[in-house]
Amino acid sequence: MRVQVAIIGSGPAGLLLGQLLYKAGISNVIIEQRSKEYVLGRIRAGVLEQGTVDLMDEAGVGQRMHAEGLVHDGTELCFKGERHRIDFKKLVNKTVMIYGQTEVTRDLMDAREAEGLTTVYEAHNVSVHDFDGAHPKVRYEQDGVTHEVQCDFIAGCDGFHGVCRASVPQDALRTYERVYPFGWLGILSDTPPVSHELIYCNHERGFALCSQRSPTRSRYYVQCSLDDKAENWSDEAFWAELRLRLDEEAAANLITGPSIEKSIAPLRSFVAEPLRFGTLFLAGDAAHIVPPTGAKGLNLAASDVRFLWQAMVDHYRGNQVALEHYSERCLSRIWKAERFSWWMTSLMHRFPDTGEFGQKIQEAELAYLVGSTAAATSLAENYVGLPFQD
């Protein structure tokens, strides 16, 4: 097979890049080691910045998102038993969209299938070759047969554990990482959300988040130990713990029910530099991880895709230096999002080594945040997504 761009990974980053390239007349194939059902079964975040919404529209897949997504004008911070609203619309005149990553993936998959574009699922032993030269290749096995894709460029959208970053020579790559000393125990339930906007809770027992996927489906989290296991938590124990961390009104209004998914996610910050290695480009979780506190993971992936798509379009239109700036443009935005996600995580969680002093400092900063228009504006500006520097 011969295409202009071989995309490794069929998560939102790979699918969005494939759709945008197709719309620009650039041939591509997506190669995925998992099954389509596995990819769709992954439960992930669902807060979309306006820039991500715009990209979905640009890719021609925004219709269902606009019909079913929930536009949020703000969010609430809860500490010392009281809630305080950060009004995005008033402070920065922007909003976010609540629309699950599973639905984003489904919309992109459906669009790709409708156009008859090739996605190879359950591709085994995927490997990338010769990306330090002008004729890169991707090889994979399927049904006992080895296949080779020849291309101009390889887009590594295959996640944190994928083959693309792992194939880069160690001396060409630098990584930065922080692993947090706690995780998030999360459940998904077919119950109405406790609030029409997200609630971020700072509590002496630990962080909690009240989120949602739709008017009838909720996503809730509580901070937990890394040693904990989801099977140790009954639904009843989870709901009881969540109530303890909410304000009285939210605790009283919380509607509980059976969980349809329950898991524990560790938190880490991670960045790889650079993001280009000859004709291989890293994007999304292959390049960076953020803790979910700032709702930046999917949006950063979309940001990478935006820069890579635009640079590839410019390249094929004759701008031979367009791709040279991909890494630096992405990393400038990545590190700003990493900072915000680290700050939100540090502000809202209970850390084992800071004790009561640390809790008091967090409460003082939160009080300043909700009492200062300048501080609240900074939070709002970062949460809804910083502007692109084109």
The answer to whether 296 is a known catalytic residue is yes
- Catalytic residue, from 99, 220, 326, 383: name it: 383
Q: Encode pLDDT of 69-84 as tens digits.
A: 999 999 999 999 999 9
pLDDT score of 96 more than 80: yes
Residue type, 231: E
The answer to whether 383 is a known catalytic residue is yes
Domain ranges of the chain: 5-72+99-177+268-347, 180-267+350-383
CATH level 3 topology of 5-72+99-177+268-347 = FAD/NAD(P)-binding domain (3.50.50)
Note the pLDDT of residue 169.
95
pLDDT score of 390 more than 80: no
Distance CA 106, CA 283 (A): 20
pLDDT score of 197 more than 70: yes
- Catalytic residue, from 140, 180, 200, 220: name it: 200
- Catalytic residue, from 203, 288, 296, 349: name it: 296
Residue type, 273: E
| Sheet bearing 82-87, strands edge to edge | 82-87, 74-79, 199-202, 208-214, 217-224, 174-189, 259-273, 288-289
CATH level 3 topology of 180-267+350-383 = D-Amino Acid Oxidase; Chain A, domain 2 (3.30.9)
Among residues 130, 143, 109, 140, which one has the least CA distance to residue 38? Answer: 109
pLDDT score of 85 more than 90: yes
Buried b (16+ CB within 10 A) or exposed e, 51-80: bbbebbeebbbbeebeeebbebbbbbbbbe
The answer to whether 72 is a known catalytic residue is yes
Range 217-242 average pLDDT: 97
The answer to whether 315 is a known catalytic residue is no
pTM of the model: 0.95
Eight-class DSSP state of 334: H
- Catalytic residue, from 292, 315, 326, 349: name it: 292
- The chain-wide mean pLDDT, for the chain, equals 96
**Crossing angle of helices 355-371 and 326-348, rounded to 10°:** 110
